[in-house]
Amino acid sequence: MAANASTNPSQLLPLELVDKCIGSRIHIVMKSDKEIVGTLLGFDDFVNMVLEDVTEFEITPEGRRITKLDQILLNGNNITMVSLHCKKSACVSFLYLLICD
């Protein structure tokens, strides 16, 4: 049986930790040559995320392209890594690696 915050407050499941970071800025590394920084508004069990105030960084043959977006729905299948820098003490500088195909 997996431990959760109610049985062992020193351990959090990955999705519980992401949940504590709603409203905070997060940094996402995609499977492609893109990185995304934005404020986490919500997510589901598949780690599909809704982000606002988004900056997308992409490496192209011409150099680095930066795109600003108001709000996005990000497909969790394309995420390699999420770095959570939450305001809550349990999340500070936590690095959450997702297992990807």
- Chain-centroid distance of CA 37 in Å reads 8
pTM of the model: 0.74
Residue 88 pLDDT > 70: no
Provide mean pLDDT across the span 4-16: 67
| Other beta carbons less than 10 A from residue 41's beta carbon | 15
pLDDT at residue 93, rounded to an integer: 39
- Residues ≥6 apart with Cβ < 8 Å to 59: 33, 65
- Residues ≥6 apart with Cβ < 8 Å to 28: 35, 36, 37, 38, 49, 74, 79, 81, 82, 83
Give the architecture-level CATH label for domain 15-97.
Answer: Roll (2.30)
Domain ranges of the chain: 15-97
pLDDT at residue 24, rounded to an integer: 93
Provide mean pLDDT across the span 2-15: 63
